[in-house]
Chains A and B, each alone.
Chain A
Amino acid sequence: MGDEIKLVEKSRIMDAAAMKRAMRRLATEIVEKNKGADDLYIVGIRRRGVPLAETITDKIEALEGQRPLYGILDITLYRDDLSTVGANPVVNRTELDEDIDGKNVILVDDVLYTGRTIRAALDQLMDFGRPRKVQLAVLIDRGSEHRELPIQADFVGKMVPTKQTEIIKVMLKEYDDVEAVGIFERS
């Protein structure tokens, strides 16, 4: 897969405890805005949106005593850069076992940057049915000046204004050794 790009961590912006608090707040805000867990469908976007969506689902269940529906989207087949040079995406499975018609879908991803992933996720969702509402929850929002499409998040764990040369990495125990968020730059 090409040469490994060397990244240097410039600063750590969240540790495990801060992430936990942010996730708890996201879950609370989602429940408040949607007036409970009825008709909620929490959908994680592969890869790093998936463990976050699972955590939010757990926390909503703890808050409301009712577990919302939960699913996974793999947006690979809906990407807009499939035919451009360099794209080499691997297809993984989408798991939306319950009908999304009439549900309040909460899309969950780790970082909101250009908005293109969310565009692909929305297109795919619409092929599955007609949700009543779709809202977006992200752990990190890099700021609207980077957006390439008119998309914004409804629930944000932390707003982190960044330069284009910077890379935000959300590290999760499922994929990385640590649970943290850092700003990285190419060395």
Chain B
Amino acid sequence: MEKPFRRRDLLGIRNISASEIIGILDTAENFREVNTREIKKVPALRGKTVINLFFENSTRTRTSFEIAAKRLSADAVNISVSSSSVAKGETLVDTALNLDAMDPDCIVVRHGSAGVPHQLANVSRAAIINAGDGANEHPTQALLDAMTIREHKGSIEGLEVAIVGDILHSRVARSNIHLLTKLGAKVRVAGPGTLVPGGFSHFVEKGMTVVPHIEDAIRGADVVMILRIQRERQDSAYFPTLREYSIHYGLTNERLELAKTDAIVLHPGPMNRGIEIASEVADSSRSLILDQVKYGVAVRMAVLYLATGGSASH
């Protein structure tokens, strides 16, 4: 569908270029200052309507988008699945058409199935922002991770990044692998064989390697990214017990010793303490988990601003 002038979707990292990624990150850097003011509000999106359409539970991401929209003076409306008419039998496209009839400028969507944001983008005149679709992508998470890395390491190019855990179910991993390889990082992925998809060969060409053990991924890394064990998605047995997972793939201080001495630790949250990450690591100064949450607001402000008409910093 033809979008009104200057309206743009953010469906994933896969379909945007390295320079577009850098443009979003530079814009987000400039939005950070707004969040440090006493009056944390600017009139840039006054009169615009942002709908947060969440078919899956989320506290952090939905709140982050809502705060971002409100700090830009947009009107934010939250719709969650439990209160929506999907429960009454409405199809996704009908829901989208009904929302579209109310003339929102932007719809932020999260859904358990991959491709839903793309489907909405085809039927809606609003800018569509993907806030997580199935195991496909979660672009704003990858952008805020990149912002956190840039803040501490200066640039992403040439960094060695370990991504550890449940790759199979992780949209965070996919968006991050796209982003990091596009910006020239070397990515090493490790996880139980059952949780690392076989069809990742297209990533391998771009600089990603799959290694069997967490130690192989972490050794010499600048950044260690730990993924959450998604217990709610594991309908069959991918590993024997959580305890066994933690013994083989949990990030402990001893394992972190293998990384560079100034290595940083990221986790997209919510954390399972004592399973994929030991509390001593999560609470250490190398863990930047709360920085990620902080930068998330600035990234989403930048994305909302750019999706509804602004152009990127350079």
Contact = CB atoms under 8 A, between A and B. Distances in A.
Interface of A: 74, 76-78, 82-83, 85, 87-95, 123-124, 127-129
B14 interface: no
B47 A83 contact: yes
A123 B31 CA distance: 18
B38, B43, B305 — most chain A CB neighbours (10 Å): B43
25 contacts: A76-B310, A77-B42, A77-B43, A77-B44, A82-B45, A82-B310, A83-B47, A85-B5, A88-B6, A88-B309, A90-B27, A90-B312, A91-B30, A91-B31, A91-B310, A92-B30, A93-B29, A94-B33, A123-B43, A127-B37, A127-B39, A127-B41, A128-B37, A128-B38, A128-B39
Given A77-B42, A88-B311, 4 more contacts: A78-B44, A91-B30, A91-B313, A128-B39
B34 interface: yes
A104 B44 CA distance: 27
A92 B44 CA distance: 13
B34 A83 contact: no
Interface residues of B, number: 27
Contacts of A83: 47-48, 309
Interface of B: 5-6, 27, 29-31, 33-34, 37-39, 41-45, 47-48, 72, 302, 305, 309-314
> Would you list the 9 A-B pairs with minimal beta carbon distance, nearest first?
A77-B42, A77-B44, A88-B311, A127-B39, A93-B30, A91-B30, A90-B313, A93-B33, A92-B30
A interface, over-half SS: loop
A83, A85, A87, A123 — most chain B CB neighbours (10 Å): A83
A130 B33 CA distance: 19
A78 B34 CA distance: 12
A89 B30 contact: no
B33 A95 contact: yes
B2 to A, nearest CB: 15
Nearest to B47: A83
A16 B218 CA distance: 58
A89 B311 contact: yes
A91 B38 contact: no
Contact of A87 (B302, B305, B309): B309
Contacts of A76: 44, 310
A76 B314 CA distance: 14
Nearest to B23: A90
A86 to B, nearest CB: 9
A140 to B, nearest CB: 27
Nearest to A95: B33
